[in-house]
Structure 1
Amino acid sequence: MAARFVVEADGGSRGNPGPAGYGAVVRDGDTGQLVAEAAGFIGHATNNVAEYQGLIAGLRAAHALDPDASVDVRMDSKLVVEQMSGRWKIKHPDMQPLAAEARTVFPRDRVSYTWIPRERNKDADRLANEAMDAGRAGRQWEPRPKAPATVAEPPLETTAPEAGWAAPADLGTPTTLVLLRHGETPLTPEKRFSGSGGTDPELSDKGRWQAERAAEALAARGSIQAVVASPMRRTRQTAETVAARLGLEVRYEEGLREVDFGDWEGLTFAEVHERYPADLAAWLGSAKARPTGSGESFATLTHRAGLARDKILARYPGKTVLVVSHVSPIKTLVRLALGAPPDSMYRMELSAASLCAVQYYADGNASLRLLNDTSHLR
């Protein structure tokens, strides 16, 4: 069944026109649970342009969660609400293309618009101001760590502590993400960059064997209740092998894709160092630096992996979910759970078909329960 979302959006300009930013939040339409947020600094613009940018960002965030969803947009801008509802004409040339862009995100019959007073739009307003503050400091807005979904279900039976991700009963029932890296591909033993911008290789014979061993181990534990995976070929093959053994369906999540390594795809670290030494040094020194060409920064990955995590936590509160992904997204989720700095990713080993586990509690805390477990491969 398609989801129903509420998008709250806002924008502002300090000077009108002046330094401007936007903010938007996406909530589950049934529970009110916050499932995504977006913000950005857009330079010199008017309040109305910033408000339209917030609307577009909120719609795109909702579309990333479920492109088949219906959306109720709520804004304190009467102008935007009336214009997007079709009751007022859009005469200003700066807003006409923005309104047209907003209408392309979802079909018109799946989006409604409601005006709300400013005091009921505080979260989107806060994000817009955070974005403007970031722009004034010469940087882009980045999301703050978010609390996981509230656990509303009664405690579930858990496996014994030695299983690696059992929870202390006195802390309540957590949502547990068991993180499985895909099995080997032909590029894995050669240690070549293999991200979402490359050839999308399939599992090798060894990788398929590793997926089978992971399936056996997870079936033996017997606690997995759902499977979510990156849609790339190697993760699909790994997830489908495990899911078939567990009798579960696989749900695919775009935010779990590997980072795009741009022009480094298919190269070894030594080859990248030889061809792009300055870009590599910058990448190793800053999470905001991108691989050469169309590469994706770890800061961008952190944002989308965090949104994917929040979506999973909101969908499966109190459950144990197998998440099949790649080196960089899994390391990112581990890093965020620990509250560790971005460069900690370079200090983690994550083998092919290895298991990690993180538990998320209703009070906002996370607990790393397992890291790089390969005992099922021995």
Structure 2
Amino acid sequence: MEGRFQGSTDIPLTSTGVAQAKRAARLLAALEPDAIVSSDLQRAADTAAELAAVTGLDISYDEGLRETYAGVWQGLTHEEITQRFGEEYAAWKRGEPVRRGGGELETEVAERAAPVVLAAADKLPDGGVLVVVSHGGAIRTTIGRLLGLDPRSWEALGGLSNTCWSVLGEGARGWRLLEHNAGTLPEPVLGDDD
């Protein structure tokens, strides 16, 4: 692993990524999803295809779910970015709104991705399950937007490991984060607010 900043560069899954996608598909199929919506970038589309093969569901592709466009940072290692764009990188790591490499702001990613998720969720039957296949940064910002968190706190959600997932549900007061960066089947959590 080279540690390159991929952003919205359209690259395929590695053989490891394919194996991870197959494993995740088998686990997620147990949730009996009703719909799959995916980024149209090849690595996400191929991951979604593994779930579709197991479930028999069609996939809806939407470019709104693409990873953050990171301009000239894309394809560079974190070391190269800090060497060439040190102040910009430091500002981004501090949580300041930064157009990384001249690309998108995190809020802009959330503004294009969250409506895709909401529109797909609106089409589900009551109690239906939607699987959204996207990318770590786009997922984190979308979750932040859906939960109504201040954009400066989105980083607190942490990144997602490859082919791991987050589980959101609708509660009495809006969306709730039930699991984050999960790699096993979700289990119900019993609490005072259930």
TM band (smaller chain): 0.7 to 0.9
The total of aligned residue pairs comes to 183
Which residue, out of 46, 56, 62, partners 1:237? 46
Distance 1:341 1:238 in 2: 30
Measure how far apart 1:210 and its partner are. Answer: 0.5
Aligned to 2:192: none
Shift of the 222–359 alpha-carbon distance from structure 1 to 2, 3 Å rule, reads: closer
User: TM-score scaled by structure 1?
Assistant: 0.46
Which residue, out of 71, 75, 88, partners 1:262? 71
Distance 2:150 2:179 in 1: 19
Moved over 4 A (4+): none
Instruction: Output the amino acid matched with 1:331.
Output: R
The DSSP-based 3-state class of the residue aligned with 1:359 is strand
Are the equivalent residues in 1 in contact too, given 2:38–2:133 (CA < 8 A)? yes
User: TM-score scaled by structure 2?
Assistant: 0.85
Which residue, out of 69, 93, 106, partners 1:298? 106
Aligned to 1:60: none
Are the equivalent residues in 1 in contact too, given 2:113–2:138 (CA < 8 A)? yes
Structure with the larger RCO, 1 or 2 (CA within 8 Å, 6+ apart): 2
Which residue, out of 135, 147, 169, partners 1:359? 169
Q: Whose Rg is larger?
A: 1
The DSSP-based 3-state class of the residue aligned with 2:132 is strand
Percent identity between matched residues is: 34
Distance 2:109 2:31 in 1: 31
Unaligned runs of 5+ in 1: 1-188
**2:8 equivalent to 1:202:** no
Shift of the 329–317 alpha-carbon distance from structure 1 to 2, 3 Å rule, reads: farther
Aligned to 2:139: 330
Deviations 1:225-268 (A, max 9, x none): 11100000000100011111101100011211000010000112
Whose helix fraction is larger, Structure 1's or Structure 2's?
A: 2
The DSSP-based 3-state class of the residue aligned with 1:299 is helix
**2:125 equivalent to 1:313:** no
Measure how far apart 1:345 and its partner are. Answer: 3.5
Measure how far apart 1:344 and its partner are. Answer: 3.1
Q: CA RMSD in A?
A: 1.9
Aligned to 1:190: 2
The DSSP-based 3-state class of the residue aligned with 2:101 is coil
Whose strand fraction is larger, Structure 1's or Structure 2's?
A: 1
The DSSP-based 3-state class of the residue aligned with 2:32 is coil
